[in-house]
Amino acid sequence: MKPFIPLILLIFFVSGCKNDIVVPNDLAFRQKLVIHGIERDNELMMATISKTLPPWNAYDSASAEVTNASVFLVLDSGDTMWMDYFGNQGYYSYYPQKARMGISYKLFVNWNNLTATALTKIPGYFHCESPIVNSEILNGGTDTNYFAQVTVYPTEGEVYGIGWRLSGFTTADTVLGELVRYKDRDPSGKIIVKSRPLPKAFTSYYKNPIAMMYALEVHLSAFDEQYYNYYMSQSANQATDNIFGRSSTNQKWNVTGDGIGIFIGRTDTLLRH
């Protein structure tokens, strides 16, 4: 009978471990509205509106789409503009009014007892100098990176970034290398905005910064400063296997209430040498 006792203990031990890892799927789910709107100067006011789905269901864009929300904008003048469902992928738009520089817009969304709001301002006029190509020495002097650079005299409440397009190349970079804020200006009142590095093939072909500049288009983007918090929270949300070694950072939206997402003003300017 002695061998039988350890067998019983083993069965009991395995059963106990199995019970420890079984977690009932009773996680609470609170539905939220998901709002995305990049409002550009002189373009129609548009936003996509969807809803979050329970995590235990497979994601389906058609199921997430919200087609019957009550959506309107209130301008800083007090005027109200109602946005209608556009009929495609959750788009709501106000026609024919276009976004205007320097105007603030507050978005209100109501759907199924959920209410979300967001406030943004379309960036206004600002002064900037002609773009230049600059360089930085890397790897102890054995390598050089070239990048576009613009000097901006910023407006309070705005942030700035630049991308580029290359003449004679299919390459373009719409990803902003950095965002620089009004509060980052130097004592003379200006900020320096840099792009990401230019491709090696391009810089090797044109040989010097002056030739590069004549073959380069620079796109300067100004955003409502609220976008800076969202922008800076992106890389911090990348997954890490060092789970207990660093704290997580949540996405920083400017949509409030029963919603998440971004509703932000943007103005783009094309700069050439």
What is the pLDDT, as a whole number, of residue 125? 83
pLDDT at 45 over 80: yes
Mean pLDDT of the 257-273 span: 92
Lowest mean pLDDT among 40-44, 86-90, 160-164: 86-90
Contact yes or no for 229/252 (Cβ under 8 A):
yes
Kindly give, in sequence order, each residue whose CB lies less than 8 Å from that of residue 269, ignoring residues fewer than 6 positions away.
128, 219, 220, 221, 222
pLDDT at 176 over 80: yes
Contact yes or no for 94/82 (Cβ under 8 A):
yes
Domains of the chain: 33-124+249-267 (2.60.40), 127-229 (no CATH)
Contact yes or no for 181/159 (Cβ under 8 A):
yes
Token pair of 213 as six digits: 């500049």
What is the pLDDT, as a whole number, of residue 40? 94
More reliable by pLDDT, 3 or 177: 177
More reliable by pLDDT, 177 or 181: 181
What is the pLDDT, as a whole number, of residue 3? 54
Q: What is the pLDDT of residues 75-129, one digit of tens each?
A: 988 999 999 998 777 799 988 789 999 999 999 999 999 999 999 999 988 899 9
The beta-strand segments (E) located in 20-131 are 33-40, 44-51, 70-75, 80-85, 91-98, 104-111, 114-121, 127-128
More reliable by pLDDT, 125 or 47: 47
Mean pLDDT, all residues of the chain: 83
Pick the closest to residue 149 from 170, 171, 124, 128 (CA basis).
128
What is the pLDDT, as a whole number, of residue 140? 66
Mean pLDDT of the 129-151 span: 85
Mean pLDDT of the 215-223 span: 92
- With a pLDDT cut of 90, the percent of the chain lying above it is 51
Q: Which residue has the tokens 């990048």?
A: 147
What is the pLDDT, as a whole number, of residue 239? 45
Pick the closest to residue 252 from 118, 98, 54, 97 (CA basis).
118
Q: What is the pLDDT of residues 28-37, one digit of tens each?
A: 788 999 999 9
What is the pLDDT, as a whole number, of residue 93? 93
Mean pLDDT of the 231-240 span: 61
What is the pLDDT, as a whole number, of residue 48? 93
Tell me the CA distances in angstroms from 149 to 203, 205, 231, one per residue in order: 15, 20, 20
Pick the closest to residue 185 from 225, 229, 226, 234 (CA basis).
225
Lowest mean pLDDT among 26-30, 192-196, 231-235: 26-30
What is the pLDDT, as a whole number, of residue 90? 79
Kindly give, in sequence order, each residue whose CB lies less than 8 Å from that of residue 82, ignoring residues fewer than 6 positions away.
71, 72, 94
> Residue 2: which pLDDT band, with cuts at 50, 70 and 90?
low
